[in-house]
Amino acid sequence: MSAARYGRETERTYARAGFGAPVRRGARPAIVVVDLTRGFTEDGFPSGADLADVVGATGELIEAGRPAGVPVVFTAIAYTPAEAAGDAVTWLHKAQGMRALIEGSAEVAVDPRLPRAPWDHLIVKKGASAFFGTSLSALLTGLGCDTVLVCGATTSGCVRATAVDAVQSGFSVLVPRACVGDRAPGPHEANLFDIQAKYGDVIDLKDALAYLGGLPVSAP
């Protein structure tokens, strides 16, 4: 917790309740890039915002993990035309702007500014959490991962949901602050506060880069 960021009384209240302890950092992390697709990272799309800084910071994090062979998993929300136009996906009654996220459209393409490699993984999802209804937990387990660095958009939606499900699936959670973004600062800060208090560590990019840089270099 940061007294300067959230206030001393808030910090004391949560400390007294026993929240905010640091997570265990494992030896085999993965980077999960949540929905940094064009529909979220470009403000020209209905569901998007200008997340150029988040994309840049996430790219830096990915590159820092390459020497150690840190697995990278991208996620994208994509609906069939029938799902986008119909009533089958209850979430779309609430989040109408996401009906534009149709399979094969520009909106669901991973942001081309990210350093995506052919061996990186892609999870296509229908809901907020990257874990719900997907093979992500099994994939991370198969890769031998014990820690997840969660990046992406939006902090108050899919990032938070993914962080919650990650820790509930047995993975330590780290959220580099510079690598997540939202449409507005209020929801962004509120959800970073909750993640730090209850689900993972919200850390500086410098800290995240040092963590990845301290891992053993993998064989080429």
Contact 99, 39 (CB under 8 A): no
Task: Count CA within 13 A, CB hemisphere, residue 171.
Answer: 30
Backbone angles phi, psi at 117, to 5 degrees: -110, 160
Q: Enter the tokens of residue 26.
A: 């494992």
The C-alpha atoms of residue 139 and residue 26 are separated, in whole angstroms, by 17
Contact 171, 148 (CB under 8 A): yes
Interior/surface letters 47-57, b for 16+ CB within 10 angstroms, e for the rest: bbbebeebbeb
DSSP code of 131? S
Backbone angles phi, psi at 175, to 5 degrees: -120, 105
179 is catalytic: no
Contact 52, 41 (CB under 8 A): yes
Listed residue (62, 31, 35) closest to 124, CA to CA = 35
Instruction: Tell the residue number behind the tokens 């109408």, with chain if given.
Output: 96
What three-state secondary structure class fits 15? helix
Tell me which residues are annotated as active site.
158
